[in-house]
């Protein structure tokens, strides 16, 4: 032990974007509780922050007045060596501080008094064998391949029920080996049905981890896991860091889902973190998917992942119709879609009309001067809503729609573009006897309203549902015999090189979750686009075409991309920093794109410029960031620079 008398000195990392540790002294009464990975409360200037003990250290010369730590979180078990090792990898790979990485691994900010439960109360305590899964799945899992040892396994599935049986089988066989399991889903609303399903087969305790838990609830779940009271955790991104000590399997559902990419620092991708944790702790990772991300498809082709197809029984899929809207007189509903709706109504079947644009019209256009009304905080047109509102869907700015043009005083406006409000009104006009409901964030503002929508569909109280991506869920789509994509081009023409892949995944998900005897009608002005055409062909056709395009252009997964985003309230200052970065990069041997104004050039009052660094070697890009670029945007007041490794969006 390194000490000075009765005082121990430690290095602590804090949840700050600083690649450094801070040295503190430990009072004698707290010294027995200090270990590597212990969470402590420390002073920093005028603030009090939580941090993690990195190591013991010697007293620094010339530092006579080192501050003492304030508190040790005694009820919080220290981070394990393997989780600290994972944190170091996250810090290096995703270009963030170690303090930020460790705080993402252990986001508990306070501890609570936990009431000990009487008896077992359904919990699986340390030292006990976990409850066995119900015999209902005994026959179905006899031939299930159960991976052992570290490695990544890409499980391709089509049917949700079969996927759930797969999860149950994998969980059962892992628990029988007295190992623990983490099951991760992309969205919170997936969790409760999945927990109920598992509980119907598994009598042991299940920890639930997601962002909507209160601080106390989150601590209680962490407490149960860290003390071995549960062997199974299910949750969203947060669950990947569950502090199990005998982890035997991680399952990631819908591995292609973009929700797995963290937006704030550390900007990690859950799939990559899961794989790294499996590598560190020597267990397999199962990636489950209906249509894999291009990255996973590419790695499977190279043999990095082992692919296992889980297609059994009747694999009938809905029929797909692609409608060329250039040949249609009606810009909203094609004759094929309108006829399909009429037939559905006659047969008392449900229809969903998908349009990923809220409001009544995309923007308000002055017919006299051609001015479009924009959000004052964002460089984005305001969406016109019913009741005369103009709304920005990025910063929630709202104003009343003007009666006269603020530019030329003209009185004639055109509401341009189609939104869900307008579509709902139009459908009600054409099908006056049908019960039509809208499902978007303007009307479904709580989980209770969402549940009400699902129960009304189940009770046949809705004939036609109009909605956005909010309602692209199994509990909604499972009732649908007909799904109409009102306009596919809005998704296809996003200023993002992954737009075609996102569309492909979304439409495959719709087809997978709706009734297999149903019909999917896709309305588009670009029916020959490969992302749409290949929906009717073998899925690999899309991947082969998309892969070839990305290879030719030097896009992921063939090269690593690192995006640098600059934001500031003074446009000229942001431009100057971007130009300085460009001049600095021109002296280096690496490819880069930009700098240029972002597709959404101003958001919430901040001007935005970005550039993309491209290279096969991520370490080389990091070296350039450390030596050349970080000092440029970190040292200028009023400029916020962020680094996103392997970005999923570039808008």
pLDDT at position 122, please? 38
What confidence tier does 127 reach under pLDDT thresholds 50, 70, 90? very low
- Considering 35-39, 104-108, 311-315, 387-391, the range whose residues carry the highest mean pLDDT is 35-39
Instruction: Give the pLDDT of residue 134.
Output: 40
pLDDT at 128 over 60: no
Q: What distance lies between CA 225 and its chain's CA centroid?
A: 24
Domains in the chain: ranges and CATH: 3-105 (3.40.1440.60), 135-309 (3.40.50.300), 319-357+419-551 (3.40.50.300), 560-645 (3.30.70.600)
Q: What is the pLDDT of residues 238-292, one digit of tens each?
A: 999 999 999 999 999 999 999 999 999 999 999 999 999 999 999 999 999 999 9
User: Other CB atoms closer than 10 Å to residue 418's CB: what's the count?
Assistant: 20
Compute how many other C-beta atoms are within 10 angstroms of the C-beta atom of residue 279: 15
**Cis omega (within 30 of 0) for bond into 595:** yes
Question: Half-sphere exposure (CA, 13 Å, Cβ side) for 285?
Answer: 24
The residue with tokens 């998309």 is: 546
- What does the pLDDT read at residue 115? 64
Handedness of CA 635, 638, 641, 642 (dihedral sign): positive
Give the pLDDT band (50/70/90) at residue 448. Answer: confident
The lowest-confidence range among 244-248, 282-286, 310-314, 522-526 is 310-314
In the predicted model, what is the mean pLDDT of the chain? 88
pLDDT at 388: 86
* Distance in angstroms (rounded) separating the CA atoms of residues 288 and 157: 7
Average pLDDT over residues 315-326: 89
| Across 416-421, average pLDDT | 90
The whole-angstrom separation of Cα 251 and Cα 247 is 12
DSSP assignment of 444-500: --SHHHHHHHHHHHHTT--SEEEE-GGG-SHHHHTTEEEEEES-THHHHTSSSTTHH
Q: In whole angstroms, what is the distance from residue 328 CA to residue 326 CA? A: 6
**What is the reported pLDDT for 64?**
65
Cα 559 from chain centre? 22
- Which residues fall within 8 angstroms of residue 295, CB to CB, at 6 or more apart? 556, 557
For residue 381, give the DSSP letter.
B
Q: What is the pLDDT of residue 379?
A: 82
Q: For the chain, what percent of residues have pLDDT higher than 90? A: 57
Percentage of the chain exceeding pLDDT 70: 92
428-450 average pLDDT score: 91
Measuring CA to CA, which residue among 510, 491, 511, 507 is closest to residue 499?
491
Which one, of 315, 360, 353, lies nearest residue 334 by Cα?
A: 353
Q: What is residue 150's predicted lDDT score, i.e. its pLDDT?
A: 84
pLDDT of residue 481: 95
Separation between Cα atoms, residue 231 and residue 177, nearest integer Å: 11
The structure tokens 């498809």 sit at: 297
| Segment 346-365 mean pLDDT | 91
Do the beta carbons of residue 549 and residue 339 sit within 8 Å?
Answer: no
DSSP-assigned letter for residue 126: T
Secondary structure letter of residue 19 according to DSSP: S
Q: CB of 479 within 8 A of CB of 455?
A: no
Cα torsion through 260, 264, 268, 273, rounded to 10:
-70
Residue 395 confidence (pLDDT) above 60: yes
Contact 343, 363 (CB under 8 A): no
pLDDT at position 260 is 96
Lowest mean pLDDT among 26-35, 309-318, 366-375, 582-591: 309-318
Q: pLDDT tier at 6 (50, 70, 90 boundaries)?
A: low
Mean pLDDT of 104-130: 57
How many other C-beta atoms are found inside a 10 Å radius of the C-beta of residue 334? 22
Question: What pLDDT score was predicted for residue 57?
Answer: 84
pLDDT of res. 241 = 96
pLDDT of 34 > 70? The answer is yes
pLDDT at residue number 387: 82
- Residue 276 is given by DSSP the state H
User: Strands, E, within 32-117: which ranges?
Assistant: 39-44, 47-56, 71-72
pTM summary value: 0.90
CB atoms < 10 A from the CB of 198, how many?
A: 20
Kindly report, residue by residue over 183-233, the tens digit of the pLDDT: 999 998 888 888 888 888 888 889 999 988 988 899 899 989 988 999 999
Neighbour order of strands in the sheet with 319-324? 319-324, 519-524, 480-485, 350-354, 464-467, 436-439
């Amino acid at each position: 032990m390194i000490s000075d008398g009765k005082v121990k000195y430690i290095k602590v990392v804090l949840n700050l974007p600083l690649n450094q540790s801070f040295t503190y002294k430990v009072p004698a009464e707290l010294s027995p509780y200090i270990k590597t990975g212990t969470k402590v409360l420390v002073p920093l200037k005028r603030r009090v922050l939580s941090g993690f003990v990195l190591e013991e250290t010697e007293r620094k010369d010339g530092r006579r007045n080192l501050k003492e730590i304030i508190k040790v979180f005694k009820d919080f078990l220290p981070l394990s060596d393997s989780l600290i090792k994972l944190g170091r990898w996250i810090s290096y790979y995703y270009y963030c501080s170690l303090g930020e990485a460790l705080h993402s691994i252990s986001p508990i900010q306070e501890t609570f008094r936990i009431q000990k439960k009487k008896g077992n109360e359904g919990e699986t305590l340390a030292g006990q064998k976990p409850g066995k899964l119900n015999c209902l799945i005994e026959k179905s899992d006899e031939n299930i391949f159960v991976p052992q040892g570290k490695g990544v396994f890409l499980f391709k599935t089509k049917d949700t029920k079969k996927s759930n049986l797969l999860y149950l089988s994998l969980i059962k066989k892992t628990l029988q080996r007295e190992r623990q399991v983490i099951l991760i889903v992309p969205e919170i609303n997936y969790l409760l049905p999945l927990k109920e399903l598992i509980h119907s087969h598994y009598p042991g305790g299940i920890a639930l981890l997601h962002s909507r838990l209160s601080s106390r609830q989150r601590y209680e779940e962490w407490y149960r896991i860290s003390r071995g009271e549960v062997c199974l955790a299910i949750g969203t991104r947060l669950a990947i860091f569950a502090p199990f000590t005998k982890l035997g399997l991680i399952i990631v559902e819908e591995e292609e889902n973009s929700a797995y990419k963290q937006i704030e620092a550390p900007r990690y991708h859950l799939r990559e973190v899961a794989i790294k944790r499996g590598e560190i702790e020597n267990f397999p990772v199962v990636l489950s998917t209906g249509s894999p991300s291009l990255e996973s498809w590419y790695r499977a082709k190279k043999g990095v992942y082992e692919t296992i197809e889980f297609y059994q029984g009747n694999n009938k899929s809905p029929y797909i119709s692609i409608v060329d809207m250039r040949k249609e007189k009606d810009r909203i509903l094609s004759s094929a879609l309108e006829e399909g709706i009429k037939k559905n109504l006659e047969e008392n079947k449900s229809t969903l009309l998908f349009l990923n644009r809220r409001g009544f019209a995309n923007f308000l256009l002055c017919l006299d001067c051609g001015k479009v009304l924009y959000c004052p905080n964002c460089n984005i047109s305001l969406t016109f809503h019913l009741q005369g509102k103009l709304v920005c869907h990025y910063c929630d700015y709202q104003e009343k729609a003007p009666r006269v043009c603020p530019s030329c005083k003209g009185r004639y406006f055109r509401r341009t573009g189609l939104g869900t409000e307008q579509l709902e009104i139009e459908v009600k006009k054409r099908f006056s006897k049908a019960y039509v409901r809208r499902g978007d964030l303007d009307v479904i503002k709580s989980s209770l309203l969402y549940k009400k929508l699902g129960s009304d569909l189940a009770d046949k109280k809705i004939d036609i549902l109009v909605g956005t991506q909010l309602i692209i869920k199994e509990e909604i789509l499972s009732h649908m015999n007909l799904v109409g994509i009102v306009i596919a081009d809005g998704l296809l023409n996003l200023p993002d090189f992954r737009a075609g892949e996102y569309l492909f995944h979304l439409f495959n998900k719709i087809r997978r979750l709706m009734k297999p005897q149903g019909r999917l009608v896709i309305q588009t002005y670009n029916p020959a686009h490969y992302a749409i055409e290949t929906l009717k062909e073998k899925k690999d056709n899309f991947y082969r075409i998309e892969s070839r395009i990305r290879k030719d252009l030097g896009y992921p997964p063939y090269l690593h991309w690192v995006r640098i985003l600059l934001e500031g309230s003074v446009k000229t200052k942001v431009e100057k920093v971007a130009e300085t970065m460009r001049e600095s990069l021109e002296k280096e041997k690496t490819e880069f794109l930009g700098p240029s104004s972002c597709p959404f050039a101003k958001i919430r009052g901040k001007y935005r410029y970005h550039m993309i660094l491209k290279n096969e070697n991520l370490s080389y890009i990091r070296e350039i960031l450390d030596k050349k670029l970080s000092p440029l945007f970190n040292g200028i007041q009023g400029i916020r620079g962020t680094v996103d490794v392997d970005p999923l969006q570039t808008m």
